[in-house]
């Protein structure tokens, strides 16, 4: 920060303009512009938390003007500035208590509530997703899961967006090794998709990914117990579907029909190897499956193989 400029005095001078004068109302719009200008100066000096405070002051002014869009925009800007401050602290190896990250989350939470109250659920959901991504990038998956869950609730008008948010929730659950919770979430996605009838386009791709994850998670649960009796009926049905070699790939119904034929056959082989306790087949099938799975599915498969060859007592 430049030493010859008293930024604190600038902030106070702008704030003083909001005080009521005798027979004179404050020009709030002018104050908003001045806070915006000061915020940009702080940002250029990489004093992100001070820039965040200026954005918060702008949000309060916009609230006074009953300008909900301006208030939301200012709150989002404040959140991003505090998040930038948090990341700057990380680069400097600061020993703070994540106060800037918490400030960022509080600002975004206020922005989400304001957008929801303004009957803009899509905007509120988008903001919640952004905050979830911020926490996920920090490795804070419990907080990310909470934000993604909130985004899913706000995406009720768009089933595809809701399903995508639930997919992010499941990703966080798997990162925390909460596999049964992830299986429940993927099942919720599957039900949501099937309610739309024959899946097409983006929904078909999502259904295929969900179906593969569900089977892998069912196998992971099965490997821990060694029996289908402890599986919920709908999960046992998934396992039986893939163990049934008499059911040709061409006769499949959704959601299994969304899975590419070659991948479906490999998943059948995987299900047979696990349930038949065939270690050689499991190792061979794993090698062939890897090229057909995304990163998350690969994580589940590797955990399945690890638990199978090195079971925990």
Burial of 5 by CB count in 10 Å (0-12 exposed, 13-18 middle, 19+ buried)? Answer: exposed
Helix/strand/coil for 269: helix
Q: Of 75 and 252, which is predicted with more confidence?
A: 75
Residue in 210, 216, 313 with CA at minimum distance from that of residue 273: 216
Least confident of 26-40, 68-82, 171-185, 242-256: 242-256
C-alpha span between 28 and 18 (Å, rounded): 7
In this predicted structure, the answer to whether residue 113 has a pLDDT above a threshold of 90 is yes
Question: How confident is the model over 33-40, as a mean pLDDT?
Answer: 93
Could you tell me the pLDDT band of residue 205, with boundaries at 50, 70 and 90?
Answer: confident
pLDDT at 2 (0 to 100): 54
The label of the residue with tokens 């002051």 reads: 57
Percentages of the chain per state (helix, strand, coil), in multiples of 5: 75, 0, 25
| Highest mean pLDDT pick, 30-44, 139-153, 179-193, 231-245 | 139-153
Burial of 107 (0-12, 13-18, 19+ CB in 10 A): buried
Model confidence over 150-159: pLDDT tens digits?
999 999 889 8
66 vs 98 pLDDT, higher one: 66
Over range 297-304, report the average pLDDT: 94
Structure-model confidence comparison of residues 254 and 222, the more confident one: 222
pLDDT band at 307 (very low <50, low <70, confident <90, very high): confident
Can you tell me the distance from the alpha carbon of 145 to that of 142, in angstroms, rounded to the nearest whole number?
Answer: 5
């Amino acid at each position: 920060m430049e030493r010859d400029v008293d930024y604190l005095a600038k902030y106070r001078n702008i704030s003083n303009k909001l005080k009521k004068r005798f027979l004179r109302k404050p020009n709030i719009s002018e104050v908003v512009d001045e806070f915006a200008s000061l915020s940009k100066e702080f940002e250029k000096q990489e004093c992100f938390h001070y820039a965040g405070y200026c954005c918060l002051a702008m949000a309060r002014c916009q609230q006074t003007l009953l300008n909900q869009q301006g208030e939301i925009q200012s709150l989002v800007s404040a959140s991003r500035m505090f998040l930038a401050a948090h990341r700057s602290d990380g680069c400097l190896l600061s020993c703070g208590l994540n106060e800037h990250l918490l400030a960022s989350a509080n600002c975004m939470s206020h922005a989400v509530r304001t957008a929801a109250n303004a009957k803009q659920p899509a905007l509120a959901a988008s903001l919640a997703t952004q905050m979830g991504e911020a926490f996920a990038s920090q490795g804070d998956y419990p907080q990310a899961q909470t934000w993604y869950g909130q985004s899913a609730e706000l995406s009720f008008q768009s089933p595809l967006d809701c399903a995508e948010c639930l997919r992010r929730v499941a990703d966080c659950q798997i990162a925390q090794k909460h596999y049964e919770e992830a299986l429940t979430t993927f099942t919720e996605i599957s039900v949501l998709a099937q309610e739309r009838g024959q899946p097409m386009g983006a929904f078909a791709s999502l259904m295929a990914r969900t179906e593969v994850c569900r089977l892998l998670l069912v196998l992971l649960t099965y490997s821990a117990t060694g029996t289908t009796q402890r599986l919920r009926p709908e999960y046992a049905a998934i396992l039986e579907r893939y163990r049934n070699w008499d059911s040709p790939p061409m006769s499949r119904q959704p959601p299994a029909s969304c899975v590419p034929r070659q991948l479906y056959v490999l998943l059948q082989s995987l299900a047979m190897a696990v349930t038949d306790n065939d270690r050689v087949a499991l190792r061979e099938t794993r090698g062939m499956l890897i090229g057909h799975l995304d990163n998350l599915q690969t994580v589940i498969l590797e955990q399945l193989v690890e638990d199978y060859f090195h079971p925990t007592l």
